[in-house]
Amino acid sequence: MNKILPIGYEVQLIYECDSCGCEHYTTVEESIFPAGIKCYCGKDMRLEPIEKTRLVLSPKNKKVQRNKTQKEKSIPKDNGVFDEIVAVLANLGYKKTEAKKEASAALNIHTSLEECLRHILGK
């Protein structure tokens, strides 16, 4: 059996309910939701997001570093079509990180917005 390398990572924020002490885990994108969340005890909680924070992953394994660099180069972040695909998918309910992955994968195959959306939504 071959060992495989991770393709990404996810950071979760932990919020604690003032009433019952229950911990709630959210992604950075979810913490921005304006309505907040409801605790299991019934208390409504408004989350304070962490803005302008940058997380840097620095793996010791050279293979992981090389793959991360190659993946960053393959994602066309400057491409307007990429941003449009991400926006459309986010409006359809995709999490932003998932929308970026799907957009990147589709743009490796197709070039137009319509073709990419058909590819992604046709799964």
Ranges of residues in the chain whose predicted pLDDT is under 50? 65-73
Domain chopping of the chain, boundaries: 9-51, 59-123
Q: What's the pLDDT at 70?
A: 46
Angle between helices 96-107 and 80-91 (to 10 degrees): 130
Q: What's the pLDDT at 47?
A: 87
**pTM of structure:** 0.41
Instruction: Tokens 């994968």: give the residue.
Output: 105
Q: Please give the structure tokens belonging to residue 21.
A: 């002490």
Q: Are 107 and 116 in contact (CB under 8 A)?
A: yes
Q: What's the pLDDT at 53?
A: 67
Q: What's the pLDDT at 73?
A: 46
Q: Are 36 and 123 in contact (CB under 8 A)?
A: no
Q: What's the pLDDT at 69?
A: 47
Q: Are 72 and 44 in contact (CB under 8 A)?
A: no
H or E stretch covering 110? none
